[in-house]
Amino acid sequence: MQEPIRDEASREISLGPDPLSEALRSDLRDRMERIIREELYAALGAGPYERTPERRGYLHSPRERTLTTAEGTATITVPRGRLFKPEGGSEEWQSRLLPRYARRTREVDAALIGLYLSGTNTRRVKLALRPLLKGAPLSKSAVSRVVAGLQDQYETWRSRALSGEALKVLYLDAVWLRVRLAKKIEKLPVAVAVGVREDGTKMLLGLWAYASEGRAAWGGVLEDLAARGLPIPALVVIDGSKGLRGAVSECWPQVAVQRCTFHKLRNLKAHAPKRLHDELHQDYHEIAYAEDERAARRAWLKFTTKWKKRCPAVVESLEEAGAELLTFYRFPESQWKGLRTTNIVERVIEEFRRRVKTQAMLPSEDSALLLLYGLAASGQLRLRKLDGYQELDQVGQVAA
């Protein structure tokens, strides 16, 4: 009688030797060895058998190491050397590219963490990564060490001082995730803050999970940023959340606020028949994409005069945001594209959504925050500089 298969996932599918995979591993090994050799030769100031007064050390017997990268696992021959010390004697050279005890690259550890934090148990993590980790078995303790290391990094990151970050612009928004809370699957809002420095570089400032996206929750976000020393930025860019707007007014009453023009357009269309959407969009475009603030205000007057008769609710929605839709016009024109909407933080949120969309839910609030942080810490979130950053040094506090 045939023995039943208790767990098909535990059986590795074998399709025989794969010449392509072997060729890739061989190429990977050659490339890694060449890169590390060049690093060592640069540290020594000379190549092998090269006699020169500038030589700063000498080679000695190499050692084999097994390293797993996103391209596969390879056993490489790592060159070794000793560097002369100023006070006499020598010390073992340490590669910066390949730390002494590294067995996997950060990219592989990021994949491991992503699987684990999505609710996959340690055993299934090992099975999922088995083809990649062939020749470099992954133990339960190794998984635990990687995750614990990320947890330590996250705790340090979430409480780090921000007093040295002279931000010019702050973007605030939230991403909703499906998370298991008290044995039930709930939609949990995670607040996201992205800042822009004076040199135009963007940084993820923090992640906060709350029961709702109300005023108290957003107040907690701003209080945390202030407690960590974040100076008040020149501009805060937000969507139409009343809770968020109220929290900004309470914590930073004098800060300039830009309401997202894209979110407002969506709100306006919700108050008009679909047959009028194209016309409404065109009229609103003259406000949000005018040549300057004066032209925008003329377009505003024209818009309200026209639409007040046709769709009064549209005008009410526009006036709800008021002049905060036009704040970006007070900044250099080169920056308008990046300031008129919350697109900068929305791109971060969209990347978060893309990474979790295949998961029915995340196992806990902590795992959700750790997963999002892991995406950022592993370099999987790429934030280019703000358009017009060359003029950011001219931007001071703009009166609200």
Residues 117-162: pLDDT tens digits? 555 555 666 666 665 555 555 666 666 677 777 788 889 999 999 9
- Mean pLDDT over residues 336-363, rounded? 86
- Return d(Cα 237, Cα 55) in angstroms, integer: 56
Number of C-alpha atoms within 13 angstroms, CB side, residue 173? Answer: 25
For the beta carbon of residue 130, count every other beta carbon within 10 angstroms. Answer: 13
87 with 147, same domain?
Answer: no
Lowest-pLDDT range, 137-141, 268-272, 350-354?
137-141
Chain mean pLDDT for the chain: 83
User: Is residue 24 in some structural domain?
Assistant: yes
Q: Which of residues 159, 184, 206 is at a domain's end? A: 159
Highest mean pLDDT among 28-37, 92-101, 146-155, 208-217: 208-217
Pick from 181, 236, 238, 191: which is nearest to 212 by CA?
191
Of the candidate ranges 20-29, 173-182, 222-231, the one whose mean pLDDT is the lowest: 20-29
Q: Are residues 128 and 266 in the same domain?
A: no
* pLDDT-derived band at 171, boundaries 50, 70, 90: very high
Q: What is the CA radius of gyration of the chain?
A: 28
Q: Which residues pair with 91 in a beta bridge?
A: 83
Pairwise CA distance, residues 119 & 136, whole Å: 23
Does position 4 have pLDDT exceeding 60, yes or no? no
Whether residues 111 and 89 share a domain: the answer is: no
Mean pLDDT of 176-186: 86
Q: Which residue, of 83, 103, 123, is where some domain finishes?
A: 103
Please check whether residue 68 is in contact with residue 104, taking contact to mean a CB–CB distance below 8 angstroms: yes
Residue 34, domain extent: 19-103
Could you tell me what percent of the chain has a pLDDT over 90? 43
Assign 24 a pLDDT band (cuts: 50, 70, 90): low
The pLDDT score that the predictor gives to residue 250 is 95
Instruction: Report if residue 9 sits inside a domain.
Output: no
Region 373-378: what's the mean pLDDT?
Answer: 79
Q: Given 65, 83, 103, which residue is the final one in a domain?
A: 103
Assess whether pLDDT exceeds 60 at residue 8: no
Contact in structure between 62 and 98 (CB atoms under 8 Å)? no
Helices (H), the chain: 19-44, 106-117, 122-128, 140-158, 215-227, 242-251, 261-270, 277-288, 293-310, 312-321, 336-339, 343-356, 365-377
At residue 125, the pLDDT reads 63
Distances (CA, A) of 276 to 211, 299, 306, 319, 348: 38, 18, 13, 19, 32
Q: How confident is the model at residue 104 (pLDDT cuts 50, 70, 90)?
A: confident
pTM of this structure: 0.71
Helix 343-356 to helix 365-377 angle (10° resolution) is 110
How far apart, in whole angstroms, are the C-alpha atoms of residue 247 and residue 250? 5
Listed residue (127, 154, 22, 114) closest to 75, CA to CA? 22
Q: Is 119 exposed, middle or buried (0-12, 13-18, 19+ CB in 10 A)?
A: middle
Tokens of 34: 């060449």
- Same structural domain for residues 137 and 83? no
The answer to whether residue 127 sits within a structural domain is yes
Report the pLDDT averaged over residues 198-211.
90
The verdict on residue 314 lying in a domain is yes
Are 328 and 224 in the same domain? yes
Indicate if 307 and 221 belong to the same structural domain.
Answer: yes
Tell me what the mean pLDDT of segment 285-312 comes to.
96
